[in-house]
């Protein structure tokens, strides 16, 4: 039996429809949600992603502004821009597209973003709140994966979820969100001696490494839900994930295609974070009678 191919188009359309309605209501009440995206340099993949983010904002009625800075931008100039966006009342979310040029200290840049406007959930304050289970900003890609699992009706509580990859932007926060949903969670990485022996135990397998075809049929338990977070562009080839889709779809119970699901859901969660940030800002303003 072949796996259920998870239809990202349908999930994304439903979520964005709900967000669009909520944005409309908040705008009518006097606060139009706004997102500022900052991109430094000319990385071609980043240009595509940033354009997709701006288009998605437009689709749901969120105000957006894209700040395109030259490769030679200094640390001080970038931090000064972030500080001005922190003070800008029309901007509720700030996203600084990574990767940044080598001469920029990325950590210092993230620290400069006001935590309330950190719609990536990269700031240490938001990461800490996530780790201790306080409500707040959720990281976009991991939150999107949880929404996909819920949408297809996958059980998470008590299931064994295996995350392959330990990055700060996907692997680690993914494990925290699965834990919050009461999964038993294992994280694998490049030093895991027998990857397949661990991944074969997974009821839910999340691949977030950035290596094409890392996960093959022998890595997957029959019937498992396989979520592919990889975004690989082999030279001259087309975009593909970390999972050998054709082979794994014959074993898995459900699988996400790349492109099509996790990428657009990531952007959808960015829209949701921006909406929530705007709603909190509007509430805070009402509380001081502003
Ligand atoms: N501060 C920051 N926040 C991010 O969230 C962030 C980032 N930097 N840097 C780069 C990564 C990557 N990322 C993607 C989001 C959507 C798609 C996406 O929509 N992908 C489409 C395909 C797009 C295409 O054709 O290339 C899909 O999977 O269907 C891809 C990649 C966000 N990132």
97 catalytic? Reply is yes
Is 267 among the domain residues? Answer: no
- Judge if 78 and 190 occupy the same domain: no
- Whether 126 is covered by a domain: the verdict is no
236 located within any domain: yes
Same domain, 110 and 146: no
120 given a catalytic annotation: yes
135: in domain:
no
Q: Which of 98, 171, 231 to mutate to test the pocket of ligand 1 (most atoms within 8 A of CB)?
A: 231
The CATH number linked to 85 is 3.40.50.10860
Q: Coil, helix or strand for 210?
A: coil
Q: CA 273 to CA 256: how far, in whole Å?
A: 23
Residue 290 included in any domain:
no
- Total number of domains constituting the chain: 2
Question: Is the same domain home to 106 and 145?
Answer: no
- Quote the ligand 1 centre to 60 CA distance (angstroms): 18
The answer to whether residues 59 and 170 belong to one domain is no
Write out the chain's pLDDT in tens, 290 residues. 799 999 999 999 999 999 999 999 999 999 999 999 999 999 988 998 999 999 999 999 999 999 999 999 999 999 999 999 999 999 999 999 999 999 999 999 999 999 999 999 999 999 999 999 999 999 999 999 999 999 999 999 999 999 999 999 999 999 999 999 999 999 999 999 999 999 999 999 999 999 999 999 999 999 999 999 999 998 888 999 999 999 999 999 999 999 999 999 999 999 999 999 999 999 988 887 75
Tokens of 163: 């995350």
Closest CA relative to residue 128, chosen from 95, 172, 82: 172
The answer to whether 131 touches 124, Cβ cutoff 8 Å, is no
Given a contact cutoff of 8 angstroms between Cβ atoms, the answer to whether 13 and 262 are in contact is no
pTM above 0.95, yes or no: yes
Residues 168 and 99 in one domain: no
Catalytic residue among 118, 120, 242, 244: 120
In a domain, residue 185? The reply is yes
To test the pocket of ligand 1, the residue of 36, 238, 266 to mutate (highest count of ligand atoms within 8 Å of its CB) is 266
* Dist. CA 198–CA 264, nearest whole Å: 29
CATH code for position 223: 3.40.50.720
Ligand 1 centre and the CA of 75: distance in Å?
24
155 and 201 both lie in a single domain:
yes
Same domain, 159 and 230: yes
CB-ligand 1 contact for 72 (6 Å cutoff): no
> Hey, what are 36's tokens?
């500022």
pLDDT (0 to 100) of residue 1: 73
Q: Is the CB of 263 under 6 A from ligand 1?
A: yes
Q: Is 63 within a domain? A: yes
163 within ligand 1 shell (Cβ under 6 A):
no
The residue among 114, 149, 177 that closes a domain is 114
* Domain span including residue 144: 140-262
260 is in an annotated binding site: no
Q: Find out whether the beta carbon of 48 lies less than 6 Å from any atom of ligand 1.
A: yes
Give, using CA atoms, the residue closest to atom 4 of ligand 1: 97
Q: Is 239 in the pocket of ligand 1 (CB under 6 A)?
A: yes
The residue with tokens 């689709």 is 59
Residue 258 lies inside a defined structural domain of this protein:
yes
Q: Which atom of ligand 1 is nearest to the CA of 122?
A: 1
159 and 83 within one domain:
no
Classify the complex by whether its ipTM is higher than 0.90, answering yes or no: yes
Q: Quick one: pLDDT at residue 290?
A: 57
User: Does residue 260 line the site of ligand 1, with CB under 6 A?
Assistant: yes
Query: Is 228 among the catalytic positions?
Result: no
Task: Specify the DSSP element, H or E, that contains 213.
Answer: none
Instruction: Using the mean position of ligand 1's atoms as its centre, give its distance from the Cα of residue 122 in Å.
Output: 15
Residues 109 and 157 in one domain: no
Is residue 73 located within the same domain as residue 164? no
Residues 175 and 66 reside in one and the same domain? no
Does residue 98 line the site of ligand 1, with CB under 6 A?
A: yes
Residue 101 shares a structural domain with residue 157? no
Task: Quote the pLDDT of residue 191.
Answer: 98
């Amino acid at each position: 039996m072949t796996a259920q191919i998870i239809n990202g188009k349908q999930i994304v359309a439903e979520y964005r429809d709900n967000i669009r309605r909520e944005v409309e209501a908040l705008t009518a009440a006097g606060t139009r949600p706004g997102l500022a995206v900052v991109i430094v340099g000319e990385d071609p993949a980043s240009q595509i992603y940033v354009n997709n983010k701006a288009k998605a904002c437009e689709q749901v009625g969120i105000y957006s502004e894209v700040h395109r800075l030259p490769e030679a931008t200094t640390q001080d100039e970038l931090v000064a821009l972030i500080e001005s966006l922190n003070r800008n009342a029309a901007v509720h979310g700030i996203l600084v597209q990574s990767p940044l040029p080598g001469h920029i200290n990325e950590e210092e840049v993230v620290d400069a973003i006001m935590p309330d406007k950190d719609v990536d959930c990269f700031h240490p304050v938001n990461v800490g709140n996530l780790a201790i289970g306080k409500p707040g900003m959720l990281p976009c890609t991991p939150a999107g994966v949880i929404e996909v699992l819920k949408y297809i009706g996958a059980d998470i509580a008590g299931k064994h979820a295996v995350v392959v990859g330990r990055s700060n932007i996907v692997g680690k926060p993914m494990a925290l969100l699965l834990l919050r949903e009461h999964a038993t969670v294992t994280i694998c990485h490049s030093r895991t001696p027998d990857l397949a022996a661990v991944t074969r135990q997974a009821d839910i397998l999340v691949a977030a490494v950035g290596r094409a075809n890392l996960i093959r049929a022998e890595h997957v338990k029959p019937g498992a839900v396989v979520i592919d977070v990889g975004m690989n562009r082999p030279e001259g080839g087309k975009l593909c994930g970390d999972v050998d889709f054709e082979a794994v779809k014959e074993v898995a119970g459900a699988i996400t295609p790349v492109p099509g699901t996790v990428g657009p859901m990531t952007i959808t969660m960015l829209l949701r974070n921006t909406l929530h940030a705007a709603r909190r800002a509007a509430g805070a303003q009402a509380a001081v009678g502003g």
